């Protein structure tokens, strides 16, 4: 199974030197509003730092550096945006630096502590606790980014970027998961391409009907793209758990609640049964679920709104549609985002310039360019809920789910993903009872949380 790398920070700066996973790839509107306390050990100092950025000397020229990983569409758009920003701010020069995905956090760990890193950095929301506790980031100045305004204007799950009472990052675009389905394969299987599955039961039924195998029993078409290490582990935490009536974590983010009721195991079994019982998908088919869908070898796939850009570019003739995730007892989807933050070493005129650039990156005009050229959804409600996006056949289903979006609070994204995939493999490859694998998964994940909070 091929997965994109994920990074974490670790020993003295270690976990950040691991490889990042495809985040890129959800959140209870309520629990998103609970303040995380996973930031630095000096909240009073953080609050003082967050008060206001210094004034920018209008007669002084300043050069700042922006970092993001190498993602062609984003690199191109940011370069265009930099030119636009510099026209509005002729005394500020912005240089963009990009690194391969699997080197990104290694560079951060090596250069930021030495004051040689970026002045504005793009990072996945799930890395924030590690970055903040390692001292890599500073709170956004409250005077420039008032918490009350952020919470009024942005979708609630963005509050996962709030640590120790201060926001440390803000996104330009956000993502939800949706159901991608191949309309031609629906028609071929005798299904109405305008009526996607809307319930858990229908999803299983459709997936069975869409699955094609050869005379040796090998997949020709997966009915359902099944890749636990891709988006399905997110779907479990922020989608399936809440849909079945369970919860992810306690409000203070310290306790895993998956096994508090039998509902959590029901969600775990539902996910595993696509491969184990129903046999409608398998790990690594056509490299991964996204590629299987792109090449017409997966009929249905759970994926993020960010996938729209690459599908439009790589397979413009693919006849597919998007639907909200099938529901059960409740509605829920995973939501996530890449956000922009300011490293702790940035001071003086560079800090003032970095604040101006971050304001620009979260502006309405930039968000509109982002959704149209990248495929990610606008982070602010006023922008996302415009008719032109809500009524769009591809964007609309994602936007309709934003109020039901949930964003899991990651302690260590790479480890949490790994533990989930290992638990699934125990059931599928080693015939470990699902209940046993699930309880071990909960215990191991809880230990990550216990170890993290013990240091706070």
All domains in the chain, ordered by first residue: 15-176+335-406 (3.40.190.10), 177-333 (3.40.190.10)
pLDDT tens digits, 238-292: 999 999 999 999 988 899 999 999 999 999 999 999 999 999 999 999 999 999 9
Identify the band that residue 56 occupies on the pLDDT scale cut at 50, 70 and 90: confident
3-state secondary structure of 154: strand
Per-residue confidence (pLDDT) for residue 317, from 0 to 100: 96
Over residues 353-370, the mean pLDDT reads 96
Q: Is the pLDDT of residue 82 over 90?
A: yes
Q: Is the pLDDT of residue 390 over 70?
A: yes
Per-residue confidence (pLDDT) for residue 16, from 0 to 100: 37
Alpha carbon separation from 287 to 4, 63, 297, 300 (Å, rounded): 12, 42, 11, 16
Q: Is the pLDDT of residue 362 over 90?
A: yes
Per-residue confidence (pLDDT) for residue 50, from 0 to 100: 56
Please report, rounded to a whole number, the percentage of residues in the chain having pLDDT higher than 90: 69
Region of 446 (left: φ > 0; alpha: ψ -120 to 50; beta: rest) is alpha
Q: Is the pLDDT of residue 39 over 50?
A: no
Per-residue confidence (pLDDT) for residue 25, from 0 to 100: 39
**Which residue has better confidence, 423 or 8?**
423
Q: Residues 186, 209: contact at Cβ < 8 Å? A: no
Q: Is the pLDDT of residue 110 over 90?
A: no
Per-residue confidence (pLDDT) for residue 377, from 0 to 100: 92
Identify the band that residue 396 occupies on the pLDDT scale cut at 50, 70 and 90: very high
3-state secondary structure of 343: strand
pLDDT tens digits, 332-345: 999 999 999 999 99
- Reduced DSSP (H G I as helix, E B as strand, rest coil) percent helix, strand, coil of the chain, to 5: 45, 15, 40
- Dihedral through CA 421, CA 427, CA 431, CA 436, nearest 10? 110
Per-residue confidence (pLDDT) for residue 41, from 0 to 100: 37
Per-residue confidence (pLDDT) for residue 137, from 0 to 100: 94
Q: From CA 385, how far away is CA 414, in angstroms rounded? A: 33
Identify the band that residue 208 occupies on the pLDDT scale cut at 50, 70 and 90: very high
Per-residue confidence (pLDDT) for residue 306, from 0 to 100: 84
Q: Is the pLDDT of residue 10 over 50?
A: no
Identify the band that residue 23 occupies on the pLDDT scale cut at 50, 70 and 90: very low
């Amino acid at each position: 199974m091929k997965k994109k790398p994920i990074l974490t920070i670790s020993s003295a700066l270690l976990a950040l030197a691991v490889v990042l996973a495809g985040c890129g790839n959800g959140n209870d509107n309520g629990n998103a509003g609970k303040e995380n306390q996973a930031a630095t050990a000096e909240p009073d100092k953080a609050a003082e730092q967050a008060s206001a950025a210094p004034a920018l000397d209008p007669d002084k020229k300043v050069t700042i550096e922006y970092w993001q990983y190498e993602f062609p569409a984003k690199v191109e758009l940011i370069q265009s945006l930099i030119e636009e920003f510099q026209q509005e701010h002729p005394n500020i020069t912005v240089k963009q630096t990009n690194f391969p995905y699997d080197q990104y956090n290694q560079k951060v760990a090596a250069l930021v502590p030495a004051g040689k890193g970026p002045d504005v950095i793009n990072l996945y929301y799930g890395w924030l606790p590690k970055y903040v506790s390692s001292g890599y980031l500073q709170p956004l100045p409250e005077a420039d980014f008032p918490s009350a305004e952020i919470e009024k204007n942005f979708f609630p799950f963005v509050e996962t970027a709030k640590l120790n009472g201060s926001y440390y990052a803000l996104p330009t675009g956000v993502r939800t998961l949706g159901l991608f389905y191949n309309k031609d394969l629906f028609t071929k299987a005798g299904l109405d391409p305008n009526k996607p599955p809307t319930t858990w039961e229908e999803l299983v039924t459709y997936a069975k009907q869409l699955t094609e195998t050869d005379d040796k029993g090998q997949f020709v078409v997966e009915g359902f793209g099944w890749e636990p290490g891709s988006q399905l582990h997110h779907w479990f935490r922020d989608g399936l758990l809440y849909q079945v009536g369970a919860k992810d974590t306690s409000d203070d983010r310290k306790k895993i609640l998956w096994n508090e009721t039998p509902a959590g195991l029901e969600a775990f079994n539902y996910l595993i049964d696509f491969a184990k019982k129903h046999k409608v998908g398998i790990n690594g088919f056509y490299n991964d679920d996204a590629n299987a869908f792109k090449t017409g070898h997966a009929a249905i796939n759970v994926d993020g709104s960010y996938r729209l850009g690459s599908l439009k570019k790589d397979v413009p003739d693919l006849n597919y549609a998007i639907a909200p995730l099938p529901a059960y007892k409740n509605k829920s989807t995973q939501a996530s985002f890449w956000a922009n933050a300011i490293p702790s070493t940035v001071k003086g005129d560079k800090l003032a310039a970095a604040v101006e650039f971050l304001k620009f990156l979260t502006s309405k005009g930039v968000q509109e360019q982002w959704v149209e050229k990248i495929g990610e959804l606008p982070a602010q409600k006023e922008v996302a809920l415009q008719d032109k996006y809500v009524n769009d056949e591809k964007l609309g289903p994602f936007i309709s789910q934003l109020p039901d979006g949930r964003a899991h609070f990651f302690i260590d994204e790479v480890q949490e993903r790994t533990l989930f995939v290992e638990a699934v493999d125990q059931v599928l490859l080693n015939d470990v009872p699902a209940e046993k694998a699930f309880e071990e998964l909960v215990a191991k994940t809880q230990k990550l949380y216990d170890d993290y909070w013990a240091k706070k």
